[in-house]
A and B are shown apart, each in its own frame.
Chain A
Amino acid sequence: MAFRRTGLRRVAVVGAGMTKFVRRAQETAQELAFHASRLALDSCGLRIQDIGAVCLGTAPDAFDGVHMNGEYLSDGAGAYGKPFMRAYVGGGTGVFSVIQGWYHVASGLFDAVLVVCEEKMSSCLPHPQAAFLTIFDHTTERPLKPNLLWIFALEMNRYMQKYGLSKKDIARVAVKNKRNAMDHPAAQLAAEITVEDVLNSEVLAWPVQRLDVSPTSDGAVAVILASEDAAKRITDKPVWIKSVGWCLDSAYWTNRDLSYPEYVERAARMAYEMAGIKEPRKEIHIVEPYDPFDYKELHHLEGLLLAPKGEAPRLLAEGVFDRDGDLPATPSGGLLGVGNPIAAAGLMKVAELFWQLRGEAGKRQVPGNPRTGLAQAWGDLMQVGTVAILGV
């Protein structure tokens, strides 16, 4: 792969903060962004004056109902009078914002960067889901009045068909993640549920049922990235960004293999190569794959080469992905349990790795002193994979 391997500075995550994830927040989008940013600064004792640049992520403007939402949010993200940039790759934005912050620091341009992601989906009526109508091709697909659920249901069905999987095999992801979220102070949909609860929940777009899906949410998350010198001054527990990777597939989604996320594999291979990781299954100790739907977590674990194709459900049933399993997956509770304010949800996964790798995840703490973690997000028209590998 053609990317630069030398001359880049080491970059660490040194602070993190987040709001609760809720269905409908009273705070404005700016106020949510402020709370998360302020908490991230306070967590590592920095002032806003110490920040060189701000990277912001937020998904389609249609949710917040503010065109140029990045500019609207900038004050709340601490960007007043600073270099500022907004990234947008749909659901992949949360992890991509960290990638963007990483190259601002790795390049040598800035020593400390604040990365903020926010989403206020509740502003969108008649339902936040309606905003997704406009992601489909306006001429060949929108006249069919598609629902966002279609695209997930179609992909899930293809995945099940290809490997002969049952709904039960997949529902365990929802059970695990909602249970993990019971220990998360920001969680919107934490619950003790059973596989039967998932199978008996309302059918939305078969094979997708109510409990297979993450909620719509309002919330914000922020992390602070610093160069090696700065990080060592700020904290004695920096968490290094070992590598990043991202990749985009074709926009003609009906021309792709829907049973396997090729683009996630490409993004992961870039990140593994950059980090010098040869055997991901042994060298990654903790993973936060993107889980807007339960099957997506399995899909992504396979794309990340952390499970053989079609076998993630078997490993899940064996307990490999439990918080105390061999490869804990989504110990935070993920989008299914903590909530899904799109861009903020992806950044929450990076924040989770930060807390886990520092041993500060409280009741969510993965045992065995994990040293390397991977966060992944996914989005656009089901075509982008974004990956960041963190380590101590």
Chain B
Amino acid sequence: MPLDKLSHPQQARAWFDNIPIQNQYTVGIAGEVFFRGLMDGKLLAAHCQECGRTFLPPTLYCGNCFSTSGEWREIVPHGVIDTFTVVHLDLEDNRLEQPELIALVRFEGCEGGLIHRLGEIDAAQVEVGMPVEVVFRPPQEREGSILDIAHVRPLTKS
């Protein structure tokens, strides 16, 4: 029996179905402060008074010493490209007409960083180490989401 051969190709069949659930995530206690900060056009990080580390995105507790002695600090929304990629495929494996630029941006004095889209620049010109700034959506379009940041772009000298 373990060596049974399929006698007809139709027997080699698959059963098709899906997992029909959706999710809604609360942003949580630290998230509530961080995302409301984005709505105000501010980047807020959590600073641990015990070990002196600063986390962005912020957490309720220090991932290092596990204390809740944190305080909120607004940080300058200027960072540096730590690494980047040029994405040519969408989630369903279709070729994108316009490739997307995705970067990990680090902020001075902060642990962590933001993953976001890079805009207002050609792929060929992006370099690791390039200074960038956060571009917020217009205030009336913000809704307390990571997409309240439209993208990051090369830091304009002003």
List chain A positions with a Cβ less than 8 A from chain B: 24-28, 30-31, 34, 37-38, 41, 47-49, 62, 65, 75-76, 78, 80, 122-126, 130-131, 133-134, 138-139, 142-143
Contacts and interface: CB of A to CB of B under 8 A. Distances in A.
A31 B23 contact: no
B68 interface: yes
Given A75-B63, A133-B20, A28 B15 contact: no
Given A38-B68, A62-B19, A130-B20, A27 B63 contact: no
Contacts of A27: 26, 28-29, 60
B21 A125 contact: yes
A142 to B, nearest CB: 6
Interface of B: 15, 17, 19-32, 59-61, 63-66, 68
Given A130-B21, A139-B15, A37 B30 contact: no
A130 B24 CA distance: 14
A47 B60 CA distance: 17
Given A31-B61, A126-B21, A126-B22, 12 more contacts: A24-B26, A26-B26, A28-B29, A30-B28, A30-B60, A34-B60, A34-B66, A37-B66, A38-B61, A49-B65, A123-B24, A124-B21
Contacts of B15: 138-139
Contacts of B28: 26-28, 30-31
Contacts, number: 74
A125 B27 contact: no
A28 B25 contact: yes
B31 A80 contact: no
A134 B19 contact: yes
Contacts of B31: 28
Given A30-B28, A138-B15, A138-B17, A125 B22 contact: yes
Contact of A78 (B59, B66, B68): B66
Nearest to A76: B61
Contact of A62 (B17, B21, B63): B21
Contacts of A31: 28-30, 60-61
B61 A28 contact: no
Contact of B27 (A28, A34, A41, A80): A28
Nearest to B28: A28
B19 A123 contact: no
A123 B60 contact: no
Contact of A142 (B17, B60, B63): B17
A75 B55 CA distance: 13
24 contacts: A26-B29, A27-B26, A27-B29, A27-B60, A28-B27, A28-B30, A28-B31, A31-B60, A34-B60, A38-B61, A38-B68, A47-B66, A65-B21, A65-B23, A75-B63, A76-B61, A78-B66, A80-B63, A80-B64, A122-B24, A124-B22, A125-B22, A126-B21, A133-B19
Contact of A28 (B17, B19, B26): B26
A143 B32 CA distance: 41
A356 B6 CA distance: 60
